[in-house]
Amino acid sequence: MRRAAGILLPVFSLPSKYGIGCFSQSAYDFIDWLRKAGQTYWQILPLCPTSYGDSPYQSFSTFAGNPYFISLEALVEEGVLTEEECDAADFGEDGSRIDYEKLYHARYPLLRRAYERSAIAEDPAYQGFVAENRWWLEDYALFMAVKDRFGGAPWTEWAEDIRFCWGNALDYYRRELYFDIEFQQYLQFKFFQQWHALKAYAGRQGIRIIGDIPIYVAMDSADAWARPELFQLDEGGLPSAVAGCPPDGFSATGQLWGNPLYRWDYHRETGYAWWLSRLSHCFRLYDVTRIDHFRGFDEYYAVPYGSDTAIGGHWEKGPGAALFRRVEEALGWHEVIAEDLGYVTDSVRQLVRDSGFPGMKVLEFAFDARDTGSASDYLPHNYSEDCVAYTGTHDNETLTGWLRSITPRERQAVRDYLCDSRTPQRELYRPLIALVMRSAARICIIPMQDYMGLDDRCRMNRPSTVGPNWRWRLRPDDLTPALQEEIRRTAVRYGRA
């Protein structure tokens, strides 16, 4: 495999017109921009519909797509919306930040109007999509329709009959909410129609998509509601324990994610059928699939349900290499990146080796004075070819923000490693990007904020917080020819163009 480079930018961060990045012309323009910048990869975050907190890692479904990403411009071209209707909607005034509240109140009425004008039930392509995807779409569309009927409440607070999927209740709501269900199916049809067109265009331009799959699903999801046997839930539908991470140098109380944990014994008994469906779905969506929190397949951290922090959790064994042997046996070999960050043990390292997947190296972890044990693993001179190198990820500070926040001792260690005492701190992100790009790693992925030298006001996510995350967007004039040329020259210089 030749050396290559790419850029990390979520779809929602694209500079689209109506409040959020989507599959509009700006996505096609960004692909062209990447090609001219000498890039091979576009890494995105999960495409699934987001729930509370707007996080792509907390979704109403592991299979569905986010309706916010449907291009309104494309619906205007189809004749089911007008440009005047879209322009009249209030998506917020700050083009560099997503206002999710206004987005919700403005975009869904437009999408509903488009559906009502579409005569979608008569479309053979729609009929084929529903038939092909019924195995997940039927549960998801009903789940979302019922959720709306109950005012957005989580499924654990619904009426008992539909909460536990009793047959008579399912029949009743399918009749009662017929058009609401069809609306949800229409949204998924348009999402996947537009996504596959965009991905095909990227392929023709030589740009490969790196997608992202969260290891866990949200408690308030169609997956947990319709398939409770997959998870550690009690007879009342509540989890006995939830997912998280233990306390470490970054958080004295750990991270409490709240996702239901898997019943790995059940998955093993069924030949990992649900995981085969899930990964097969992702392999069709992306050219390369990054699996988040890979260490959870070796051991996962279980926190008693109802805990306020992750302090009282404990480690339990995951499925290990057996899952990935089964995946390769059933689905063949596919390109996967293992997100093996965090507390990494010898058994986690062995699982990554056994899987054959490249792991990740993050430069910002290399100079952490609190973690003298593993920091050297992230120094670029220690990178192997079989890894994917990053300056930072969506969970990290931007490079510029990180340089401001680290201690003077750590900042001096950065300069000593670079043999650079003269570059102003505000420009130090450039030699750090070059440091990663000239490493042995076959693939280097740089967040767009780092190439632009942006500070933590443009940070994507602060783990274990809710509020300001997942909101940063590019402005249309940010993707300048000068930035494109700088990125291209860097890729050429280090043999990655």
Catalytically annotated residues: 292, 339, 395
- How many other CB atoms sit within 10 Å of the CB of residue 497? 17
SS3 495: coil
Q: Cα–Cα distance between 196 and 77 in angstroms, integer?
A: 18
483 touches 31 (CB < 8 A): no
Looking at the DSSP bridge assignments, the partners of residue 211 are 289
Cα angle 301, 306, 308; round to 5: 80
Q: Cα–Cα distance between 268 and 140 in angstroms, integer?
A: 24
Tell me, letter by letter, the H, E, C secondary structure of 375-444.
HHHHCHHHCCCCEEEECCCCCCCCHHHHHHHCCHHHHHHHHHHHCCCCCCHHHCHHHHHHHHHCCCCCEE
Phi/psi of residue 108, nearest 5 degrees: -65, -40
126 touches 120 (CB < 8 A): yes
Phi/psi of residue 150, nearest 5 degrees: -95, 25
280: DSSP letter = H
**Tokens 């063949």 sit on residue:** 332
224 touches 264 (CB < 8 A): no
DSSP strand pairing (241-245 vs 387-390): unpaired
CA atoms 359, 12, 195, 25: torsion sign: negative
- How many other CB atoms sit within 10 Å of the CB of residue 443? 26
- Long-range CB contact pairs, 293-296, < 8 A, 24+: 293/214, 293/215, 293/216, 293/339, 293/342, 294/215, 294/338, 294/339, 294/340, 294/348, 294/351, 294/352, 294/357, 294/359, 295/340, 295/342, 295/343, 295/344, 295/345, 295/348, 295/351, 296/215, 296/216, 296/243
Amino acid at 247: P
Alpha helix (H) residue ranges in 238-396:
264-269, 273-285, 321-331, 346-355
Is residue 444 exposed (0-12), middle (13-18) or buried (19+ Cβ within 10 Å)? buried
Amino acid at 87: D
241 touches 304 (CB < 8 A): yes
Cα angle 459, 288, 205; round to 5: 90
